Structures are given as structure tokens and as C-alpha cells.
């Protein structure tokens, strides 16, 4: 089967609640790739928005998202194919019934490196398990981000997505997800690799009763990572790795926040603003544009998320587009459907490679003067920005301009 006129499907790899993954050949590059088809079509908008964000992730321990497209057969996400054996396959092949503790801790440390980067980019995986951790040429790689969610996103009205027994209780019950959810799943994964199978939620049998060679501090870390109540759980993968006796070293990977080469304000501040704005407003992309006093143009100084590299440095003529109109009027704007708004600068958006569905733009004011705008694009849950979002966004803009 040929998908998207480009990807020749060869064989199935896996399937789950949100999609099936197949091995395929990219006929343009000749590379082997993994193609995921969305099975739950009610999640199409969120899946498409999520794909744009995931395509920006760049870390040696995180699978690279190459492409996403619509096809008569469905909606697809294309990822690099990691050659190697999953930890689940490794456990099935060599477990007796579990793997050597030091080997498991090596894998755990590398999984923590992957998750620390992902969480730093405000993404939570939600399906950490042995089959989604591949031992490649250079160690463990975290794969299959098809069900990733924004940190702190409230999934009200949605069903839980993930794998039972590896899934954090709050995810299973449809509650809010956070990095603590991934800590739980990783703790269960490590326990399964040591004992040969994942524990049940109610299982509190001492690990050392089954594996006396497990150090006491490792058992304590795994218990802390598997706390049923998220507020009592080890809060971050950095803290979890340290509790395991494997503190993380230098943190790598490309940030989803970008800024121009010489921003008008400190780079660390303006990048922190767009990153935080994206998290607060559940946005797939956020950017700050400041007015060039000489020309009156808006210059996008920093951005986070989908299309960040393309929008940074773009100059928007005075009054052009929704952001240009907000800069002139000084009045915030909410656009539920971008394509229906006559102010929307579709040509400029197309040049950046990112045409949003919905957007929220608020002015950055210094006293009575509008000196720029804060722009938020696409809710990560696939919903639309509404007038109710404006008051919070205006308050955030006041804080942002104070920082700037």
C-alpha cells in the first residue's frame, strides 16, 4: 500500500487505542520509516496540532517526527524507524524472569534523559512502557508520541489513552496529566524489567522479596515513583533519576523556543515568555512581536513550538494581519476560525509553513503605547480560543511586558 504518494507500507509494527504503527519505505529518500495511522478520528484536530509540535523535538533519545499528512485511508504521522530491540522484546528474550538490575538502571537513566527533554518542552508522553523504549545503536530511544499531551492539559470529556497497568491512575480515570504521570509509568516499566511483569495498582509486595539484589534506595525510588496519588509521587524525572542513584548530567536537545540573533531584549527572558505562554494557554505555538520604531513594522523576536524557526525574524507591515491590526488598534483579538477572518494574513502564514486554525492576539502595552503583540496559535486539545480567554491573556501580557 502506498500512502501519501510517498510511503510504501511493508509490515505492521504495533497497534493501540490511538493508532496502528507500520514499517514503511520513504520512496523519496529510500529510508525506512514508521508510519502511524490515527484510529480515533474524533481526535483528528488534536492529532494534527500535536504532530506540528512533535516535529520540532530534537534529541538523541527521542524519536524524530518526519512528516504528517492526510490520505484517503486516514491521517498519518511519520517517524524515523529506530533499528533495534524494544525493552519488552529484550525482556521476553533474556528475562529470567527479569533483567540484571544494573542493566535495567542503565536503561532507566537513558529513558529519564529522554523524558526530561520532552517535559522541558512542555510535552508529556502518556504511554511510557517497555515496548515504547527501543534499544538502538546509541542506547535507549523513546518512541510513539501519538498520544502525547500538553503538560497540565485537562482531558475532560475524553477517554483515557495509554496502556493499562503502565498507565498512571489519574490518566486511567481521565484526570489531568502531568510529568508525574510519566514518572509513574517509568517506575512501573523499571519494576517490570526487574521482576518480569508490571505490578498491579494494588501490589505493594516488597521488591526485594522477589529480587534481593535490588538496592534499598532503588526500591524506595520505585515506590515513590509509583505512588497512587500524584501529589505524593516523585514530581520530576530529574528527581526520580537522582533517587535511583543515576543523577542526570548535561541536559541536551534543541529547545522549541527560538529568537532572532540579536533580540531587542534579553534572549533568556523573551524565550521564557513564549514558552510559558504556550504552556499557560495550551498553545501549539506562541510568539512575541515588537514594533520597529523606524518602520512601524512588527518584528517577530521570539517564538515557541510549531513554525517557530520560520516565524522568527518575519516582518509584518503595519496593520497587516490580525497581529498587525491589534498592534494598531491596541485591542486584543480572538479568532475562533482563522480562515473566516478577513484580517487573517493567509499568504504570510503560508510562507512560514504553518496556517493555524484558531488564534489569540493581545497587545503588549507600555503605558498607553502599544509596543508589540503576544500571539497564540491553536489549542493543543483541538478546541478554539474564545472571548473568555482574553482576560487571562491580557493579564499575562501585562506580566510579560513588565519582564521585557
Q: Could you tell me the CA-to-CA distances from 388 to 24, 49, 129, 318, 360 in Å, in that order?
A: 44, 22, 38, 27, 11
Burial class from Cβ neighbours inside 10 Å (0-12, 13-18, 19+) for residue 67 reads middle
Strand 149-150 to 123-124 pairing: antiparallel
Which of the following is catalytic: 60, 88, 106, 127? 127
Question: Cβ distance 171 to 177 under 8 Å?
Answer: yes
Distance from chain centroid for Cα 225: 21
Q: Could you tell me the CA-to-CA distances from 77 to 49, 69, 117, 198, 288 in Å, in that order?
A: 11, 7, 21, 29, 29
292 is catalytic: no
CB count in 10 Å sphere of residue 26? 19
Q: Kind and range of the H or E element at 268? A: helix 267-280
C-alpha closest to that of 112 among 248, 224, 232 = 248
Strand, coil or helix: 191: helix
Rounded (5°) CA angle 388-393-399: 150
C-alpha closest to that of 164 among 201, 195, 133 = 201
Q: How far is it, in rounded angstroms, from Cα 215 to Cα 139?
A: 23
> Catalytic residue positions?
127
Amino acid at each position: 500500500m502506498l500512502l501519501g504518494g510517498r510511503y510504501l507500507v511493508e509490515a505492521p509494527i504495533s497497534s493501540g487505542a490511538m493508532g496502528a504503527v507500520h514499517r514503511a519505505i520513504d520512496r523519496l529518500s529510500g529510508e525506512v520509516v514508521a508510519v502511524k495511522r490515527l484510529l480515533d478520528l474524533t481526535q483528528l484536530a488534536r492529532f494534527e496540532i500535536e504532530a506540528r509540535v512533535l516535529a520540532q523535538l530534537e534529541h538523541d533519545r527521542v524519536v524524530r517526527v518526519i512528516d504528517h499528512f492526510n490520505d484517503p485511508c486516514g491521517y498519518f504521522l511519520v517517524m524515523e524507524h529506530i533499528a533495534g530491540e524494544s525493552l519488552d522484546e529484550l525482556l521476553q528474550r533474556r528475562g529470567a524472569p527479569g533483567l540484571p538490575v544494573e542493566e535495567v538502571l542503565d536503561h532507566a537513566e537513558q529513558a529519564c534523559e529522554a523524558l526530561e527533554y520532552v517535559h522541558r518542552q512542555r510535552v508529556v508522553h502518556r504511554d511510557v512502557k517497555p515496548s515504547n523504549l527501543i534499544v538502538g545503536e546509541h542506547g535507549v530511544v523513546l518512541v510513539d508520541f501519538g498520544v502525547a499531551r500538553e503538560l497540565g492539559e485537562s482531558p475532560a470529556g475524553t477517554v483515557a489513552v495509554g496502556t493499562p497497568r503502565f498507565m498512571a491512575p489519574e490518566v486511567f480515570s481521565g484526570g489531568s496529566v502531568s510529568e508525574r504521570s510519566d514518572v509513574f509509568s517509568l517506575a512501573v516499566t523499571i519494576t517490570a524489567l526487574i521482576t518480569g511483569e508490571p505490578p498491579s495498582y494494588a501490589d505493594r509486595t516488597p521488591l526485594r522479596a522477589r529480587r534481593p539484589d535490588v538496592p534499598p534506595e532503588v526500591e524506595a525510588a520505585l515506590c515513590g515513583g509509583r505512588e497512587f496519588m500524584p501529589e505524593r509521587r516523585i514530581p520530576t524525572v530529574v528527581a526520580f533519576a537522582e533517587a535511583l542513584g543515576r543523577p542526570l548530567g548535561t541536559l541536551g536537545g534543541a529547545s522549541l523556543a527560538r529568537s532572532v540573533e540579536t533580540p531587542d531584549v534579553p534572549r533568556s527572558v523573551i524565550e521564557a515568555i513564549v514558552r510559558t505562554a504556550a504552556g499557560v494557554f495550551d498553545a501549539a505555538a506562541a510568539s512575541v512581536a515588537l514594533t520597529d520604531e523606524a518602520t512601524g513594522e512588527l518584528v517577530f523576536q521570539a517564538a515557541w513550538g510549531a513554525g517557530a524557526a520560520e516565524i522568527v525574524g518575519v516582518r509584518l507591515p503595519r496593520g497587516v494581519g490580525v497581529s498587525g491590526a491589534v498592534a494598531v488598534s491596541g485591542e486584543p483579538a480572538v479568532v475562533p476560525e482563522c480562515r473566516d477572518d478577513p484580517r487573517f494574513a493567509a499568504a504570510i502564514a503560508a510562507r512560514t509553513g504553518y496556517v493555524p486554525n484558531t488564534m489569540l492576539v493581545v497587545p503588549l502595552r507600555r503605558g498607553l503605547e502599544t509596543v508589540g503583540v503576544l500571539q497564540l496559535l491553536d489549542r493543543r486539545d483541538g478546541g478554539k480560543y474564545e472571548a473568555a480567554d482574553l482576560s487571562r491573556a491580557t493579564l499575562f501580557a501585562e506580566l510579560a511586558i513588565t519582564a521585557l
